Structure 1
Amino acid sequence: MQADVLALFEAARVSHANAVERRLRALLDDRARDGEVARPERLMQAMRHGVLNGGKRLRPFLLMESAALFGIEGEAPLRVAAALECVHCYSLIHDDLPAMDDDDLRRGQPTVHKAFDEATAILAGDSLLTYAFDIVASEETELPATARVALVAALARAAGLGGMAGGQALDLQAERERPDEAGILMLQAMKTGALIRYACEAGAIVGGASVDERTRLAEFGSAVGLAFQLADDLLDMTSDAATLGKATGKDAAAGKATLPGLHGVDWTRRQLDGLVAQAQDLLAPFGDTASMLRAAAQFIARRDH
């Protein structure tokens, strides 16, 4: 990535991340909303611990930049992006539990079940997931009702049994029954790829895109979702916990099959280059307005932490 493009991308990513962080802080305050009885203090502390702990906020970035392709910026895409980050962080809280991947460290901090306890971590994840749908469906998200319904339906499918949660089930199964390459691709498209695909498709929904434009952005999301997982698996093989802020080498230790593990580092890097090229082709009809999404694809594929 050229230095000037990288600088512009990083500035945009940080700007979006800061905006999402501020919106999440406001959404996760202690004040009960209409229809809520109360917000328990310890539960809210655990939710904030799992969400307000840094992170690249790539999914919100992709959503907001996808919406910007259609001239839509401001509070509506920001709220949908915050809701998506709630779902993502719920998945991390549950993924870190002893019954799942059993991690003690996330983004350089103790995981929620370590900072609090397992039951509180489960409830914090449950609360973030359900709150995400509240945020999107609310009239405070100033979009047409049809758009909010479409966003809720697509998020439910991306996060649920046929998407991320189903992918987590396949990941657990993979510890007992080693999948073939097709099985690995399916697992990754569900566990990691589904929410990244949603981020890009949701931006199109927010923007009132045509069917063709929505499909194109969803396919772009699928390409960068696979790139994200390949890069993540490659880093698990080649990096260290101090750099990543989480444990490394866990896939190999658990006997999990990954594409980098099957094919090696050089093959993986060639695949990543191919996925970046595919992503660029999908964005071609959007011209220069998609420059930040193009840069995001390169960043995702070539990140080092």
Structure 2
Amino acid sequence: MSIILGPNRYGKAENRVVRIYRDSPRHEIHDISVSTALRGDFARAHLAGDQLNVLPTDTQKQTAYSFAKEKGLLSIESYGLDLATHFVDTVEPVHNARVEIEEFAWQRVLVDGSEHDHTWVRRGQEVRTAAITVEGMGADRRSWVIGGLKDLVILKSTGSEFAGFMQDPYTLLQPTSDRVMATSLTAGWRFATTDADWEATYAGIKQVLVSQFATVHSLALQQTLFEMGRAVLEAFPVIAEVRLSAPNKHHFLYDLSPFGVANDNEVYHAADRPYGLIQATVLHDDAADAGPAWDSYTGLV
């Protein structure tokens, strides 16, 4: 039985790039963490230590910083496409380039009731994400773009049930017709195109996800996730597939009876672990092959 080298890739992870636009007195800021990974003809590096085909990870880092100026950083999806395409087109041994990006939002400081032109505070909601994969040359070129978000913590105090579930001798959980439902949502959406209004689509999808979470009377978190994904696909024809991951951030009614105090669904213990983890994929039945689009995309099925 022989031993061979399997799939492999290499790159530079978590480059913190901050791009400030100073074209006018009102500055703009984009703050990202970008990771690159290259696949290709790198077998000799593993088998013989031969680095001839290896573009240094430091070079990948330098390219990421330079492209923030050369190509711009107005949308993480377009920036990622530019970066991945560059590696496939200009580095001969590279057959496939993967770029994953997280964007950290900033909010303008208010001074005397007006937004300041060049001062911000970190905005503490979700982290915006993108994953871009480019492979092949010419007519064989294929590209995939996934937009997304993570750490979107959302809670509703009613409008959620959990009953009628399977039970066995180890089941202690009691059914409920009114519970707190909360999660820290991770979501990704695969574009059917590489030419979209990235900013408007992100804002619109986030609004749809939040609205569905709020308004769907939930009989199960699974049902809520499906309705969220379906609503995104119905509202945005440029999206082929949605993947959602939702840890159930449990809130347990706290027993105040030892103190002679009634607790009518008002005081809870917020448990951080263990937690239920619900994941779902929602897609058009004729959605195109996803190829390596979701490769290593953290937290999603």
- The TM-score with structure 2 as length reference comes to 0.31
Which structure carries more strand by proportion? Answer: 2
- The TM-score with structure 1 as length reference comes to 0.31
